[in-house]
Structure 1
């Protein structure tokens, strides 16, 4: 029976990874902060599960303090989010603790577009994840990175400026014909649990995806789901997109003003596209269609938000 520790276990993705691991028969240790020592609301459905234990700790506690939580653990899954102090510093402490405890593999908190399709300086959040990946070069712990493309939960939200319910518009850069990779958070969690329990993924980047469709096809799905027309706004070419990113960088007080567009330049230009997609390795994971997502939790995207998007905290990967 595989023992897995999940960091970031009370988050939207981490909690579902815990649930999927338990369903697959794993023994799970959920690393939770002292403020979530009871597991929080997201772990309520699995509270009391005989193969789940909560371990109270924080990545800032350091490797020595984290190591006892990792004794007898075979795989670490990190679903934490944040800036460099979390993605680089905190995860490095978790990796060092894993080394002390003899952990075999670690899945870092990537869960994003293809991080290796473009160089440094293109995407600030990708740079954080690639910087942390360097720590595995001299580590006995094998790295397994999971790439899923974009989460529609975020891509269709206010942060990406694609869908505007108040104006009834759907905005694109470029011609909108290139396929982009989209995977819901529940499907990403299901894939991640399967990959965590697959020893053949040690030392590999594993690309899995829910759906691949163009922006124009995505707009058609939105119109079909809502039964209304969403006016197509062509914001400019991909060169214009890059110019807009530079303009925002000069004017911004923090990276949240432009990082969504940094993701889009890679997605729309193709450099961030997933390659060697391995869905067939996990046939029991059946991703939701875009129509199913939009008819379910995705319907919330069509309501006018009550407040402006929060630009004061580090966003999720995509």
Structure 2
């Protein structure tokens, strides 16, 4: 099946899978603000969620789809100029559902596909160091076998996690927790900025296989300076140990609390931190300047907003 050509004046049609999630919802909103025709692919039991109601009110088309059926997905993708996946889950979703989605996109004649990668550069990591990123690498191998123009967007760590979920900035004792080298450069990008960049990329037919962005590149000492500036109080450093100790802690935690069916068990976040502190998945070169209209949010601003709440 091939899609019909779109006139130069017609808005692009972007199909977004995972639009009920935080990132997917933001991507869909950014696309609508840019004048795109947005088709949100949702499961039949999610059409009454607040995010879907909001997107419908903003002009998005809500398309209920069976993610287990390539036929259903193909019908939902037909006529789209790009399919963006913001799906989140374990192997059945990241490998299984996304494989069906990209095959459906190919069958529908969609020219471009953006997978749900949104991470540090997992292409530089050895297998076994991060379960969730191993799944993305497994899907990458399948994706690259498909006759479709794919673009992965890599954004480091979501900067928003520094306000609590990622235990690096300890607001109580006013310390920055870390392992290894306090001068290792790390990549951080807010969810909102990642969504804005993804929307711009979805509307850009010239994107390469990978796009790498970082709202701010900062070492642990840089995070320390940002926290001190944001709060007006001096933060210190707390080195928990070397990377070998962190690796041992990951093994112990994974043994005691395996939580195999959870997407983000405690040891998964620890794996992500270990990956970042090794420096292996550092994003380079950065494509921050590709869309000049995007203003990148610094760490200090994110931490300051937490203080204001």
Give the TM-score normalised by structure 1. Answer: 0.86
C-alpha contact 2:176 2:223 (8 A) present in aligned 1: no
Is 1:259 aligned to residue 264 of structure 2?
no
Query: How has the CA–CA distance of structure 1 residues 101 and 3 changed in structure 2, closer, same or farther, with 3 Å as cutoff?
Result: same
Is 1:42 aligned to residue 46 of structure 2?
no
Task: State the partner residue of 2:64.
Answer: 56
Task: State the partner residue of 2:7.
Answer: none
1:178-189 superposed matches below 5 A? 178-189=184-195
Task: State the partner residue of 1:215.
Answer: 220
Q: Structure 2: which 5+ runs fail to align?
A: 1-10
Is 1:228 aligned to residue 237 of structure 2?
no
Residue deviations 1:126-167, cap 9 Å, x none?
100010111123211222100000002224423x32233455
Task: State the partner residue of 1:124.
Answer: 131
Residue deviations 1:95-120, cap 9 Å, x none?
12112111111111100000111111
Please give the alpha-carbon distance, in whole angstroms, between the structure 2 residues aligned to 1:258 and 1:116: 21
* Cα root mean square deviation, aligned: 2.0
Query: How has the CA–CA distance of structure 1 residues 35 and 230 changed in structure 2, closer, same or farther, with 3 Å as cutoff?
Result: farther
Once the two structures are TM-superposed, the CA of residue 23 in structure 1 deviates from its matched residue by 1.7
Alignment equivalent of 2:37, drawn from 27, 35, 44: 27
C-alpha contact 1:8 1:78 (8 A) present in aligned 2: yes
Once the two structures are TM-superposed, the CA of residue 44 in structure 1 deviates from its matched residue by 5.0
Task: State the partner residue of 1:307.
Answer: none
Secondary structure in 2 aligned to 1:68? helix
Task: State the partner residue of 2:4.
Answer: none
Task: State the partner residue of 2:299.
Answer: 290
1:9-28 superposed matches below 5 A? 9-28=19-38
Secondary structure in 2 aligned to 1:138? coil
Please give the alpha-carbon distance, in whole angstroms, between the structure 2 residues aligned to 1:156 and 1:133: 31
Please give the alpha-carbon distance, in whole angstroms, between the structure 2 residues aligned to 1:47 and 1:132: 31
Please give the alpha-carbon distance, in whole angstroms, between the structure 2 residues aligned to 1:136 and 1:36: 27
Residue deviations 1:5-56, cap 9 Å, x none?
0001121111110111112221110112223214x32355543344x20111
1:1-318 superposed matches below 5 A? 1-38=11-48, 40-50=49-59, 52-59=60-67, 61-158=68-165, 160-202=166-208, 204-254=209-259, 256-296=265-305, 298-299=306-307
Q: Structure 1: which 5+ runs fail to align?
A: 304-318
Secondary structure in 2 aligned to 1:16? helix
Please give the alpha-carbon distance, in whole angstroms, between the structure 1 residues aligned to 2:171 and 2:82: 42
Once the two structures are TM-superposed, the CA of residue 250 in structure 1 deviates from its matched residue by 3.2
Secondary structure in 2 aligned to 1:200? coil
C-alpha contact 1:136 1:142 (8 A) present in aligned 2: no
